[in-house]
């Protein structure tokens, strides 16, 4: 796809300084720009690259004034970073314009399909599935029985959606996502043999949720595992049965959440966090990366460590953690001195 400076300026409501008809067909970093690429400048430390970049068009802030002659065409906007993000979204949407049903693929005759479906090859839609309009299902996706998928949702290759799962509108499921697999429920016998507890609940994904690649969300034992509207999940996250995650919470990669944990709204959870089951985490909580959470957390707390403690307390304690060898040596020396003094009495 090619775009001229005029077209881009119209999309961004920007002002052109340079060649109005210059064309671009790719995006780049400013320091790696080539002829035919579009980039942006928002961080002042990258300004020197503006005078050497080969990028054909650079988006800059309105108040930017070049200190010397430049060859590239500038498009001045109110906020260069935001404008470039807008273009990324526009470019991504343009690439994702797909429709039609590829062969081979399968749609059960009882499924209800909305308008403008894209169904990639080797995908499978089971009985009594409901799919909204403008949905894109990429190749090698499995959709189980009684699944419901809302409008404008995208499911990328290799995802598996088990039966009874409900997915809202405007959701994105990246490659390899698994929704509705069995929760990890077993009962040990007196002989130490584990018997499986049937998992007969489902998974509910509300509107505007993003789920990263290879993330797994287990079905509930009873009831539902629920991901509320606006939640953003990174890659390789494990969410166990009967968990509930509040609206607009963001969770980074490799986090594991055990069964029946309840997480509030607008939380930010770092990578590789472990959360035990059957606890409640309040709203607006911040959990630093690699923390181990084993207790209830109140609203607005910032925590770190394993087991977790208050973020400020952790930082104060860490000063002493680093000095432990020195402190131990000091204590040992003092003990020797005390023993020596006692021996002289």
Q: What is the pLDDT of residues 187-216, one digit of tens each?
A: 998 888 999 999 999 999 999 999 999 999
* Tokens, residue 142: 């499995």
Residue 230: per-residue pLDDT: 98
Tell me if 105 sits within 8 A of 117, measured CB to CB: no
Name the band, by pLDDT with cuts 50, 70 and 90, for residue 1.
confident
Name the band, by pLDDT with cuts 50, 70 and 90, for residue 96.
low
Digit-coded pLDDT (tens) for 162-176: 999 999 999 999 999
Judged against a pLDDT cut of 80, whether residue 308 lies above it is answered with no
**Which range, of 3-17, 169-183, 244-258, 309-323, averages the lowest pLDDT?**
309-323
Alpha carbons 326 and 302: distance in angstroms, whole number: 30
Polymer length in residues for the chain: 345
Helix axes 5-12, 80-95, angle to 10 degrees: 110
Name the band, by pLDDT with cuts 50, 70 and 90, for residue 345.
low
Sign of the torsion angle spanned by Cα atoms 27, 33, 39, 40: positive
Higher pLDDT residue, 325 or 345? Answer: 325
- Residues whose CB falls within 8 Å of the CB of residue 258, separated by 6 or more in sequence, listed in order: 240, 243, 274, 275, 276, 277, 278
Residue 321: per-residue pLDDT: 74
Average pLDDT over residues 103-116: 97
Alpha-helical (H) ranges within 71-113 are 80-95
In the 3-class helix/strand/coil scheme, how is the chain assigned residue by residue? Answer: CCEEHHHHHHHHCCEEECCCCCEECEECCHHHCCCCEEEECCCHHHHHHHCCCCCCEEEEECCCCCCCCCCCEEEEECCHHHHHHHHHHHHHHHHCCCCEECCCCEECCCCEECCCCEECCCCEECCCCEECCCCEECCCCEECCCCEECCCCEECCCCEECCCCEECCCCEECCCCEEEECCCCEEECCCCCEEECCCCCEEEECCCCEECCCCEEECCCCCEEEECCCCEECCCCEECCCCEECCCCEECCCCEECCCCEECCCCEECCCCEECCCCEECCCCEECCCCEECCCECCCCEEEECCEEEHHHHHHHHHHHHCHHHHHHHHHHHHHHHHHHHHHC
The pTM (predicted TM-score) of the whole model is 0.78
Average pLDDT, the chain: 93
Residue 300: per-residue pLDDT: 96
Residues designated as active site: 241
Tell me if 137 sits within 8 A of 120, measured CB to CB: yes
Alpha carbons 237 and 304: distance in angstroms, whole number: 19
Judged against a pLDDT cut of 80, whether residue 311 lies above it is answered with no
């Amino acid at each position: 796809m090619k775009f001229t400076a005029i077209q881009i300026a119209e999309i961004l409501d920007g002002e052109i300084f340079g060649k109005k008809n210059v064309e671009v067909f790719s995006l780049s970093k400013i320091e790696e720009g080539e002829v035919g690429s579009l980039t942006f400048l928002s961080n002042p430390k990258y300004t020197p690259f503006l005078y050497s970049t080969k990028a054909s068009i650079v988006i800059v802030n309105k108040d930017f004034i070049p200190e010397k002659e430049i060859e590239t065409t500038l498009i001045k906007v109110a906020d260069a970073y935001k404008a470039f993000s807008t273009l990324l979204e526009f470019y991504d949407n343009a690439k994702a314009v797909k429709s039609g049903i590829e062969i081979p693929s399968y749609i059960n005759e009882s499924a209800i399909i909305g308008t403008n479906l894209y169904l990639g090859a080797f995908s499978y839609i089971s009985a009594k599935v409901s799919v909204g309009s403008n949905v894109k299902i990429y190749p090698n996706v499995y959709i189980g029985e009684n699944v419901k998928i809302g409008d404008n949702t995208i499911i990328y290759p290799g995802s598996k959606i088990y039966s009874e799962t409900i997915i809202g509108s405007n959701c994105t499921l990246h490659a390899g996502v698994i929704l509705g697999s069995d929760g990890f429920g077993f009962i040990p016998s007196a002989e130490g043999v584990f018997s499986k507890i049937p998992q007969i609940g489902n998974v509910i994904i509300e509107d505007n949720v993003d789920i990263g690649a290879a993330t797994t969300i287990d079905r509930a034992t009873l009831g539902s595992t629920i991901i509320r509207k606006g939640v953003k999940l990174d890659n390789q996250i494990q969410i166990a049965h009967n968990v509930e995650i509040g609206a607009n919470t963001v969770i980074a990669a490799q986090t594991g959440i055990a069964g029946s944990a309840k997480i509030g709204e607008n939380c930010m959870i770092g990578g590789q966090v472990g959360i035990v089951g059957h606890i409640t985490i309040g709203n607006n909580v911040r959990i630093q990366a690699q923390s181990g959470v084993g207790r209830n957390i109140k609203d607005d707390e910032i925590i770190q460590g394993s087991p977790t403690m208050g973020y400020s307390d952790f930082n104060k304690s860490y000063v002493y953690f680093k000095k432990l060898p020195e402190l131990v040596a000091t204590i040992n020396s003092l003990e020797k001195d005390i023993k020596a003094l006692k021996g002289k009495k």
